[in-house]
Amino acid sequence: MAKNRWYFWFAKAAARLCGRPRVFVLAVGVVVVWVATGPIFDFSDTWQLAINTGTTIVTFLMVFLIQNTQNRDTEAIQVKLDELIRSTKGAHNELLDLEELDEETLDRFRAKYAALASAARAQLDLGFKDTGTPEP
């Protein structure tokens, strides 16, 4: 972790910075300046290449920063959810680390909970409350 600490710090700081309105306004400003200089450069291929190259490089790098931030946020949310499940009386600990299961097993869990939700809605239609634990 220590050798990747610089990337963690950089990705977090860059994502935080790039998500601010000022950065968006700066990007719009760059595009406006580029458009305004079009007549000066006679709308040449080089003039077009400048913006295409710049935006391609920024987009390419931002994809990795955004993915890193998304991965970190998703993992943090999963750990928090796991802790809530673990610490809730009556919760099913088998649901811990659910995101690591294969698709077939995940589909079985999803079907089980979809059936529970459907049964709860049917009970609501009959005037029952939608609280408590559905297990017998």
Q: Both ends of the chain: CA-CA distance in Å?
A: 46
Mean predicted lDDT score pLDDT of the chain: 90
pTM of the model: 0.67
57 burial (CB, 10 Å; 0-12 / 13-18 / 19+) is: exposed
pLDDT (0 to 100) of residue 133: 66
Cα 17 to Cα 62: distance, rounded to the nearest angstrom: 12
- Measured from the Cβ of residue 99, the count of other Cβ atoms closer than 10 Å reads 12
> Which tokens hold the place of 133?
């634990």
Cα 68 to Cα 54: distance, rounded to the nearest angstrom: 22
Question: What is the tens place of the pLDDT at every residue in 57-110?
Answer: 999 999 999 999 999 999 999 999 999 999 988 888 888 888 899 999 999 999
The one-letter amino acid at 66:
I
Which is nearest to 136 in space by CA: 122, 124, 121, 119? 119
> Which tokens hold the place of 71?
């991965």
